[in-house]
Amino acid sequence: MKKTLISAATLMVAMTGTAMAGTLETVKERGAVQCGVTSGVPGFSVPDDKGNWKGLDVDLCRAVAAAVLGDASKVKFVPLNAKERFTALVSGEIDVLSRVTTWTQTRDTQLGINFAGVNYYDGQGFLVKNELGLKSVKELDGATVCVQSGTTTELNMADYFRAEGISYTPVVFDTNDQAAQAFDSGRCDSFTTDLSQAAGLRTRMQDPSAVGALPEVISKEPLGPVVRQGDDTWFNIVKWSHNAMLNAEELGITSANVDKMKAESTNPNVKRLIGLDGPKGKGMDLADDWAYQIVKQVGNYGEAYERNVGKGSPLGLDRGLNALWNQGGLQYAPPMR
């Protein structure tokens, strides 16, 4: 029903002229960033028992709010399922979509949206009950697989099984949570999604230790924040909010030491990031200390990673591909100068 509303909203917006240009002005006027997130994937975006949203994707929204409004708490979170997300973004219901969304060619080129970076390099895997004693995805012939509808996951699974000549029955649900529950209650032999989300959803199952992932990773899933096409200023702001977090980690600036660095550091790279030197907020219509606010209030990328999905969280995921480039990973941000 919500989906229909949003689709109707797209129609309305598409019909009633432009007036969508200045996202930055709209956000400043409103005093809050409207950020589309999942309806609950542990580690990425999930409300805690007090109703505060937590997660890696959530931290990106907060970083944008810190950069634009100087206050990381000024975010209005809009939970969306996979089917609703792009329509919600294009129709202007949200300003940023930060919702474990895979960057693909179709999405980037045909939906009127832009991907502003990759905040998590992921891949698709399969969860099964350990009692089945399976060793490989190739043994899933004839299996029933629970999956979320309207995802790249659904397509990758179809491609992979077709290529391998494996028959299967997909059972498709609106949200990943429903798909995981149906798998948990025995409707399906397997549940497929991005491995990071699988790790998060597994923590919610009746007996997480009875469930394991098969070794194959069948796809590349670069996940990242998305903005509407046609507003370059806003696109730059989101892109550089993410870059600032990566650069801060690379320079060793954390939320704990950023004030000390600001007062003492003589490193020109640090001074530029903190906004004492260099391009500052020019070209993005931001305050000069925008990146400082991000690091101060949200932290650098490594901090966000560790507390949400890394060792400091129930998910306990390794940095792996998401380590910085100089530590063997893929996370690499252009320099701030």
Partner 1 sequence: MSSDISNSSHKPDGGSAQPKAPPMDKPKFWNDPKKRSLLFQVLLLSALGFVFYTIIDNTLTNLEQRGITTGFDFLTSEAGFGIAMSLIDYTEASSYGMTFLVGLLNTILIAAMGVFAATILGFILGVARLSDNWLISKFATFYIEIFRNIPLLLQIFFWYFAVLRTLPHPRQSIEFFGSFINNRGFIFPAPVAEDGFGLVAFGFVAALVGSWLISRWSAKRQERTGQQFPVFLTSIGLIVGVPLILFLLSGMPMGLEHPELKGFNFRGGITVIPELIALWLALSIYTAAFIAETVRAGILAVSHGQTEAASALGLSKGKTLRLIVIPQAMRVVIPPLTSQYLNLTKNSSLATAIGYPDLVNVFAGTTLNQTGQAIEVIAMTMAVYLTLSLLTSFFMNWYNARIQLTER
Sort 12 into a burial class: Cβ within 10 Å, 0-12 / 13-18 / 19+.
exposed
Based on CB atoms, which residue is closest to partner 1, 52 or 169? 169
Based on CB atoms, which residue is closest to partner 1, 51 or 186? 186
* DSSP state, residue 331: B
> Strand 113-115 and strand 226-228: pairing?
antiparallel
Based on CB atoms, which residue is closest to partner 1, 171 or 217? 171
CB of 23 to partner 1, least distance (A): 13
CB of 203 to partner 1, least distance (A): 21
Q: Please tell me the distance from the alpha carbon of residue 53 to that of residue 45, in angstroms, as a whole number.
A: 6
Based on CB atoms, which residue is closest to partner 1, 73 or 167? 167
CB of 47 to partner 1, least distance (A): 21
Token reading at 102:
């895979």
**Residue among 164, 150, 15, 152 nearest 85 (CA):** 150
Based on CB atoms, which residue is closest to partner 1, 21 or 256? 21
- Which residues are at the interface with partner 1 (CB under 8 A)? 3-4, 7-8, 10-11, 13-18, 82-83, 86-87, 90, 106-107, 109-112, 140-144, 149-151, 154-155, 157-159, 161-162, 168-174, 178, 182, 185-187, 189, 228-230
CB of 111 to partner 1, least distance (A): 4
CB of 161 to partner 1, least distance (A): 8
Q: Please tell me the distance from the alpha carbon of residue 294 to that of residue 241, in angstroms, as a whole number.
A: 7
Helix, strand, or coil (residue 95): coil
Say which amino acid occupies 109.
Answer: T
Based on CB atoms, which residue is closest to partner 1, 178 or 254? 178
CB of 171 to partner 1, least distance (A): 5
CA distances for 321 relative to 196, 225, 305, angstroms = 12, 18, 12
